[in-house]
Structure 1
Amino acid sequence: MEQGQTATMLHKPDDVPVKDVVRIASYHRRDFDLAVVRTNPSDHDQIRSSLLSPNHATTSTLGQLDILPTELAHEICLYLDIRSLFRFRQVNRRAQQIVSSIRLYRAVINHALEAFCIILRTNIAPWFTLSDLFKVLCTKYCQFCGDFGGFIFLPSFARCCFTCIREENLPRVLPLSVLKQRLKPRSGRLLGFIPTVRTLPGIYSMDETPRKRRTKVVLRDSVNTLYLSDYSENTRVKRSQSTSLLPYMVTTSLPYFDPKSGAVQRGISCSGCQVALEKDLYTSGVKPAACALRDKVYSHDDFRNHFQNCHEARKLWELSGQGTSIINVPEFVRRRGYFKKRDVMMSFHSQ
C-alpha cells in the first residue's frame, strides 16, 4: 500500500509550498557566479552599513540645493550617472542623507552591492544611472533568450543568463586596443563616446582561466553608432582564448528583486536533474540534453513547474518526508557546482 501511494505521489502534482520544494530539491550554482567578475563578499559587510546609514547629526548644507523639497532632490539625483551620484554623496553628510534616503539607492545597496561596486571599479558607471541599474535589478528574465537571468551584461546594462554567457549569445565585445589599431586616427578619436568596461584581474570561465591585466572592452556594435565607415572592414578579430573570455569579464552576478513583495532570487538549479545525470552516467545512457537540463537555472515559480515533471526531484521530496528531514544529495549539489582552483574561494560565496 505504501509503495503504491509513493508511486502515485511521484507522478501526480502535489500542493506543496514553493519555499519547501526549493529548499529540498534545488540549489544555487555558485560556480556560475565565480566564472564572471566578482569581489570578496566579506568586504561588503564592512561598507554596506556606511553606505546606508549616514551620520544624522549634521550641520552641513548643500547651499542653494537645500531650498529644494527632498522629493525633488531625489529626482535630480536619479538623473545623475552612477559615478556622479556616488561622488555627490561624498560631498558632505547632508549629501549622504539625501542619497541614502532614495528608495532605489537603498534597494541597490541592500540587494546588489557587489554589482554596484563592480560597476564603479570597471569604470562603466559614468554611462548609466541608478534608475538603469534598478530597472535591471527588477528584471527577472534574460534579455537574449527569455530564461531566468542571474547576471548583468555591463556594456549595455542588460539582464542575461549564464547559458548566453557561455554560448556567446551576448552582443560581441572587443578590446579597445584592437579597435584603436584597426581604425583610422580620425575614427579612433570618437571611441571616447562609447561605453567602455575596464576589466578586473581574476579567474574567469568554467575553465578557470586567470587574467592578471586589466583590459578596456567595448561593444563591437557600438562603433556602428558613430558611423565609422572603416569599422566593418578593419575590425574582424579572430576568436582566441583571450577574446572568448571577454563575455565572462564583462558580466557579473545580479539577483532578481521583486519590488512588490521584496523577495530576492539568485536563481536555482534542480538537484533531481543532477541525480538523473549521475544515474545515466553509471549506465552509459546519458541523454543529449541531460547536461543542459542539469545546468538550467530557474526562478522559484518556474522551478515549481519543473518539479512537477522531474521524477528524481519529486523522489528527493518524498525521501525528505515532504521537507521534514535532511537527505543525502550528490557531491556536485553540496558543492553548489563544479570547482577546481576556486575551491579556496568557496567559503567566500554563500547561497
Structure 2
Amino acid sequence: METHRKLIPDACQSLKAFNIDSLDADAKKEIIEAVFFPYTEFDSATITFPDDEKVLFTSKMLRSPKNLDTNREYTSIGDLTKVPNEIMVQIIVDLDIRTLWSFALVNRHARELVISLPGYKLVVKKFPEILMALFRTKVGILKSVTLADVISILQPHETPYCQGGDCHQIGSFVFLPTLQRCCWRCLQHSDNFHVYTEGLYFRWRPWKSGPGADIQTLPGKYGDSQHVFRARRFLVHRDSHPYDTYDYAMSANRAKREYPYMCAIRVGLVDPKSSLRNAKILPGVCCAGCHEMPIPDDLDGKAKEELYDCKRQVYLEFGSLGCYYLDHFKWCAAAQNLWNEKLE
C-alpha cells in the first residue's frame, strides 16, 4: 500500500482509487483549486517576524553599506582579485553566515563573490525569516551555520519528511537548535524536540553528559493559546531521554509544554528538482475534505487522533517524494465527495 494511502484514516479512505490519470491537466488544476488550500493554521504559533522587518533585512543583506569603499581592491589579506574566483568560492562557501556577511563588507569584489554564491539570493529574498531566526536566537553563531546548511534545510536532497519519528508527514517547521525539520504534532510530542530551561535541565537531568544544543529564544506570543513568553535560554539534550522524566518535570506548569514552539519556525520548501537560480517554491497545502470532516463522538481515542492528524496533514506539489496532493485525492473519500459537490 502506498505511503499516502497509509496516512488516510479508515474513516476517510475510499474503497476504490479515483482514476486521476484519466483527467487532463485542466481538470487536475480544477481539483487542486477546489479541494486543497494553503497551510497557514499554525503560522503564528512559532517564531514569526513582521513583513516590514523581513523587507528591511533583505535590503540590508543585498545592498552595499554606505561606508564601503567599492573601489578598494586591496585588503589586509591581500589583493583578492588575483585569486581565481573558483578558489575564492570554494573557500567562502564553507564560512559560517556571520563570517560570510563580514567578508562581504571587505570591498566590492568580496561582496560580488558572496552574492554570486548559489542560493544566496534565494535565501535572502525568499526565506529571510530563517536567517533572521538563526541570527536573533544565536543558533547560527553557536552552531557556525553555513549557507550550505540553510540550503539543505530549504531543499532537502532526500525527503522533506519530519525527523521527529515515523509519522511520514511533511516537516513544515524547522527546530532551530538541531536544524531538523518537523511536523506540528512531533514538535509538540516527539522526544527529539524537548527543551529545558537552564535551571530545570540541571535539576532534573539523569545524565552525566552536558547539553547538546542551546538557543536564546525571542519574546512574543506562542502556541495555540498565544501565551506571551519572555526571552529565555533553552537547552536540548544530545541523547534521547526518558519521556516520563520530562513529563514529570513539565507537569507543574502547563505553559512549559509550549516551549518547543519558541524554538521553531515555519519555513517553506524548494523543489529539489529545480536549480537554485530558478528555484520553485513549494507551498504546503491541506485537504479541505479532511479538514471539514466532522469527528464522530463514538470513535475511540486512537481513531480520533488519526482524524485530527489527517486534518493537519500537509502535502506538496511533487510526487517523487511520496507526498503529491493528487495521490492523496486518489484515495481520500472526503476529498472526492467535496469535488463531486463542486461539480453539481
Same fold (TM over 0.5): yes
Structure 2: distance between partners of 1:152 and 1:297: 15
Q: Within 2, Cα distance between the matches of 1:206 and 1:173?
A: 18
1:80 to 95, 101, 105: 95
Q: 1:250 to 1:269 in 2, by over 3 A?
A: same
- Considering only aligned residues, what root-mean-square deviation do their CA atoms show, in Å? 3.4
| Counterparts of 1:235 and 1:31, CA distance in 2 | 28
CA contact (8 A) 1:150 1:266 kept: no
SS of the residue corresponding to residue 27 of structure 1 reads strand
Please tell me whether the aligned partners of residues 269 and 294 of structure 1 are also in contact (alpha carbons under 8 angstroms): yes
Aligned to 2:228: 210
Gaps of 5+ in 1: 1-8, 225-233, 323-351
**Residue of structure 1 in register with 2:331 after alignment:** 309
Greater share of helix:
1
Point out where structure 2 has 5 or more consecutive residues left out of the alignment: 1-15
Measured in 2, the distance between the counterparts of 1:62 and 1:154 equals: 38
Tell me the TM-score normalized by structure 2: 0.74
- Check 1:136–1:314 CA distance in 2 against 1; reply closer, same or farther (3 A cut): same
Q: How far apart, CA to CA, are the structure 1 residues paired with 2:293 and 2:240?
A: 46
Deviation larger for 300-309 or 150-159: 300-309
Equivalent residue for 2:70? Answer: 58
Identity across matched positions, percent: 24
Report the equivalent of 1:348.
Answer: none
Partner AA of 1:29 in structure 2: Y
Secondary structure in structure 2 of the residue aligned to 1:217: strand
Partner of 2:188: 166
Amino acid at match of 1:295: R
Task: Report the AA paired with residue 35 of structure 2.
Answer: A
* TM-superposition CA deviations, 1:188-230 (whole Å, max 9, x none): 9x77xx542110111111222211x211112112799xxxxxx
Aligned to 1:244: 257
The residue that corresponds to 1:150 in the other structure is: 172
SS at match of 1:203: strand
* Change over 3 Å in CA distance of 1:83–1:57 after alignment to 2: closer
Amino acid at match of 2:288: S
Q: 1:27 aligns with which of 11, 15, 37?
A: 37
* Structure-2 separation of matches of 1:162 and 1:111: 22
- Counterpart in 2 of 1:38? 48
What secondary structure sits across from 1:102 in the alignment?
coil
Distance 1:124 1:151, change over 3 A: same
Q: Is the partner of 2:235 in helix, strand or coil?
A: strand
Offset at 1:40? 1.1
* Shift in Å, 1:79: 1.5
Aligned to 1:340: none
| Separation in 2, partners of 1:180, 1:167 | 21
Once the 2 structures are TM-superposed, how far is the Cα of residue 69 of structure 1 from its aligned partner? 1.9
Residues 3-59 of structure 1, C-alpha deviations (whole Å, 9 max, x = no match):
xxxxxx995435254554333211223221211111112322334244345589931
Alignment partner of 2:123 out of 108, 118, 122? 108
Residue 23 of structure 2 is matched in structure 1 by 15
Q: Secondary structure at the match of 1:246?
A: helix
Aligned to 2:249, what secondary structure does the other structure show?
Answer: coil
Quickly say closer, same or farther: Cα 1:25–1:62, change in 2 above 3 A: farther
Q: Which amino acid aligns with 1:291?
A: Y
Out of 305-314 and 133-142, give the one that drifted further. 305-314
| Residue correspondence of structure 1 range 1-351 to structure 2 within 5 A | 11-13=18-20, 14-17=22-25, 19-52=29-62, 54=64, 58-61=70-73, 63=75, 64=78, 65-126=80-141, 127=143, 128-139=145-156, 140-144=160-164, 145=166, 146-179=168-201, 195-211=213-229, 213-221=230-238, 238-239=249-250, 240-261=253-274, 262-277=279-294, 288=304, 289-300=306-317, 301=319, 302=323, 303-321=325-343
Q: Describe the SS at the equivalent of 1:31.
A: coil
Per the alignment, do residues 74 and 294 of structure 1 end up closer, same or farther by CA in structure 2, a change over 3 Å counting? same
> In terms of mean alpha carbon deviation, does 255-264 or 119-128 score higher?
255-264
Match of 1:103, SS state, is: coil
